[in-house]
Amino acid sequence: MTDPLDWNRNIIKEFRENEGKVGGPFEGGALLLLTTTGAKSGEPRTSPLAFGEDDGRYVIAASYAGSDKNPAWYHNIVANPKVTIEIGTEKFEATATVVLEDRAERDRLYAKLVSVMPGFADYEKKTDRVIPVVTISR
């Protein structure tokens, strides 16, 4: 099996070399690069993530492909919500907000992600945890 860190590094490299476009399983999909500050290390950490849009915000889910735990980037934004986003050739500072308290809003946003990326429905079926949804605003 491919090392997940190598997998992500290759996607990030391809994204940056091709103006935000990548091939393979993400070809034609909406992909952004999220750079967070490591909660423990304080170092920048970049993750390629599928996203949706809602009322001028970007919407991502801490699905971790249906794992029973949240991805590291989620813990990083809880510790420090100031992030950097790359979409296409654009790079900008933003603020990440976890949508957890309002379950109806979380469910609405997650359903929106499922509508554009049906694989997110499978992730929910794989785990008993409520997959956190995060909005990103400039």
Q: How far apart are CA 21 and CA 29, in angstroms?
A: 9
So what's the pLDDT on residue 8? Answer: 86
At 5 the three-state DSSP class reads: helix
pTM for this prediction: 0.92
- Start-end of H helices in the chain: 4-17, 72-79, 103-116, 119-126
- What digits encode the pLDDT tens for the residues 119-132? 899 999 999 999 99
Count of structural domains within the chain = 1
Q: How far apart are CA 11 and CA 54, in angstroms?
A: 25
DSSP assignment letter at 128? S
Decide which of 103 and 4 is more confident. 103
CATH assignment at residue 87? 2.30.110.10
Q: How far apart are CA 88 and CA 30, in angstroms?
A: 9
Residue 3: pLDDT above 80? no
Residue 101: pLDDT above 90? no
How many CA atoms, within 13 angstroms, populate the side-chain half-sphere of residue 116? 18
Domain limits for position 40: 4-137
